[in-house]
Every structure is written in C-alpha cells, then in structure tokens.
Structure 1
C-alpha cells in the first residue's frame, strides 16, 4: 500500500481484506513510507523551503503507515490472519520495490481507485513486473466466498496463464464461466469457449461456455458485465502490455479494466 501522494481509501482496504478472507488467504500487508533525497538548491531555498517540505511529507507518510497498520489489523479481526510490515523507500521507487516484494508470495491484491494515479501506477508495476497473478480489488468488493470464476478466453498465452492462476484459487466444486468475445478481433477458430469447457470437464470442473458480443461497449465493460450477470465473483484475464522506461502501452482489455474496474479482476502477464 502506497502512502504518497495519497493512500487508498479506507473502504478499499477493508474490501481487499474481506476479499482475501473469501479466498481463504492469509494476508501480508506492506506499507511504504517515502523518503526524499536531499535536493541541492541554494537559490531555490530562498524562495521555498524544499528541505522542510520534504521532511514534512516524509513525516506524513510515516504517520499514514501507522494509521494503515491499525486499520488493517482491525479489518483482519473478522477472522482473516493479517501481518503488516513497513518499508522506507525513496520516492518514485515504490512500484518497483512493491513488484519485487510481491514475488515472495502466491498472489498480490492491489487496492484500486480510478482517481488515484499512485494506485494505477502500483497496479501496472505489479501486473507487468512481479511475475505473480494480481487481483485488482475495487472499493465496493464484497464476496462471502469465491466459488465461481469467469475466464476471458481467446486461446492466447496470457489467457492460459490467467486460467492456470485462477484455477489455483478455485475451491473444489467451484464453477467456471468461459467468456469469448466474438466481434472484438479475429479468432483462430470458432467454438473456443466450448473447446475449453470440454477440456475443463475432463479435468473434473463444472464449466459453461458463454459467447458474447460488444454491442457498442468496450471489451472490458462487456467482459465484466457478462461475468457479473453469470454470477461470477472473480474475472480472470490475461494482461497485455509492455513497458518503455516507466510508460506502459496497454492492450484494450487491460486498459479498460484499469480505468473502469467493476468487480475483482485477476490479471496475469
């Protein structure tokens, strides 16, 4: 969880802890307190107290870490086992350090806010840099259990990765809705959803094929709307994108989810 320039909302934090409980997970939370390197600016120092502003921002970030720790521990009191640590990180390096931190665990939950650039930057770093399945959790996430997942299936490598990751958290007897968009791009063959359903049936899963069309909606909205209509508590999909220094070129579905998150979404890259 980032604390600078702003932290995720308290509702988002509670929602993520609750969703982790629905997955049956133990939760490790890392908060990041930012540090500002000294800025040599003798002339600017007469105009603005850069050093003083930096130290004040560091103090606010540390205080926010302490507040978030208390909030997380309280949220975990409902039966979710929670541990919290703090890392002090140079400002601007939080997403990179978070991606490395995530590699020590099975999956990462990323708090989401469409209004927070820091949250979006964290999500992109985790999706494309951690090597882990990442679940974006909206503030309104509620789930008593996660026993029905939807998979966005187009036969691609990243879709297969997302399916594998999602199956790891699906409990025995859980259901799978296989979603294939028919009019978004040229597919290699027809019947992709049903082909995957047949494969899942052979492996003992209860699966259903769902073909859908965009009908004027974005692909991200279409997939999420259909997943929710089918009763899924989680949508799994491949994350398309690559980085140029710190800028991300995103595929349409990935970009759509990152700007219009309607349900918990597992993204694998």
Structure 2
C-alpha cells in the first residue's frame, strides 16, 4: 500500500469531544502524509430510534423539530471545527453530510479513499445510527480501516510502536500489506504469534520467523514475540499494552461479521472497548 492520500473519517455523534478525537487523529496522519481528509457525517437516524414510533400528534412535530435542530447544530459545529483545524494545520478538510445514507451507499466513502477511520458503536448504551448498522460493511469496503477508541489522543502523527497479530492467514497478510505506511515509519514493530492448534500448521516449525524476515527486508525494526495461551486476541491486546503500542494490526474475516476475528473469542470485548487504535483489513 502506498502512502494514503485521502482519509475518510466516519462520525455519527453530536458529542463534540468525540468528533474532535476522530478529526484530530485523521488530520495528524494527513499532515504526515500530505493527505486530504473527508469527514463523512451520518446523522442520527430517527427510524432506528426505538422511541420515535411512540410519538403521537403534536409530539411528532416536536420530535422532528428537535431532531432537525440537533442535526443543524452538529453540522455547523463540524464545519467550524474543520475550518479551525485546516487553518491551523494546512490540511485540506472536506465535510460530507450523509443524510439518508446507509449500508453500501455509506460504505462507498471508504471505497473511494485510501483509509477509513471509525469509532466503535458496540457499547450497549450507544444510540442506533446509520453508521451503527453499516459499520461491518465499512470494514468490508476493500480498504483498511482503523477502529479508534473514543478517548485516544494522537499528537505525533504516525504511531512509533506497533503490534501485529500474525497467524499466517490471508487476512493477516493483507493487513500487513495495508499497514505498510505505518510500519515503515514505526520505531519498533512487534510481531505477536500465538500458535493455537487451529493455526499452528500454517505457522511452520519457526512461527513468525518468515514474516519477520519479510518486514526486516523493508527496513522495519522487528521484535518477534511468541506467546503461549488459549486466547490469541487477549494475548495480542495485552502485549500491546505491555509495550505501549500505539496501534494493533490484525486481519479480520467473515461475511459482514467483523465481530469474528481470526484470532479467537475475545473480539466482542475488544471491539466494545478498544484500548489502542486497531487497523483491520479483510
């Protein structure tokens, strides 16, 4: 993968602090790469709100007025934020209002960019939006996607310490290829191998050695970590915390089910509460 030249950031919340985390993350990456940033705002979807169907009479007009007011305020806040950020950083920023878009239509913003950044809508108390139900499709856009924790701060641009979860699968190989712009700029890359029985045959007699050599030929500083345990997902995340990683690179698979990772059964918890940005590729 070449250095990204356009990054799409999906936003579906009116929470200004979360919006700013997403925008700042994308802009700092874009500034490092000379890239263009697209903010795709998917407003609240009233049809997906379970309470909207109970409104009657005058309450319907009141509900619609409140909805329009929230959407207008959110749009104006995003425009002001992007204008401020562009003036401060020199990064070209574009706002797209994705009203009424969902599924494949919403996914196309990612397909027309080099990289997609999304938050996580897996929390039980998260309001339903078009992005909530389209998140899986976005991860299947054919472009790498970064799942961003809501409180993550990125002041240094590209990450310096990265953990790769490696199991010799097609998905993991694709993730590494897609992550090359990050890996090439990192100070240290940890290749984590957990030779679980179901993938041990793919890893060979010296698990992780071949992919580490491949990365080293690209001038990447590699540390090979072979870990033992029953849950590769948990071990990879724990290793990322131990080394202070600023990104985890993982392959994902499944038909519209990003909740299933190649790496075991810890993924629901991981997606609901990611500790570091996770670059996913499928």
Bin for the TM-score computed over the shorter chain: 0.7 to 0.9
Q: Give the superposed CA RMSD.
A: 3.1
Q: Does 1:242 align with 2:248?
A: no
Deviation of 1:99 (Å):
0.9
CA contact (8 A) 1:12 1:137 kept: no
Q: Distance in 1 between matches of 2:14 and 2:239?
A: 27
1:7-156 equivalences in 2 (<5 Å): 7=13, 9-23=15-29, 24-25=32-33, 26=35, 27-33=37-43, 49-50=59-60, 53-54=63-64, 56-75=66-85, 78-79=88-89, 81-90=91-100, 93-112=101-120, 114-115=122-123, 116=126, 117-118=128-129, 120-128=132-140, 130-143=141-154, 144=156, 145-156=158-169
TM-score by length of 2: 0.74
Q: Name which of 215, 230, 240 aligns with 2:243.
A: 230
Deviation of 1:36 (Å):
6.8
Deviation of 1:137 (Å):
1.1
CA contact (8 A) 1:162 1:266 kept: yes
Deviation of 1:170 (Å):
3.2
Is the deviation greater in 19-28 or in 187-196? Answer: 19-28
Write the deviation string for residues 127-166 of structure 1: whole angstroms up to 9, x where unpaired.
Answer: 12x2110001112223324133221100111101100011
TM-score by length of 1: 0.78
Deviation of 1:88 (Å):
4.5
5+ long unaligned stretches in structure 2:
1-9, 48-53
Write the deviation string for residues 59-115 of structure 1: whole angstroms up to 9, x where unpaired.
Answer: 42233122223234435555261413232422xx43433211111111011123543
5+ long unaligned stretches in structure 1:
38-43
CA contact (8 A) 1:34 1:58 kept: no
Number of aligned residue pairs: 252
Q: Name 1:203's counterpart in structure 2.
A: 218
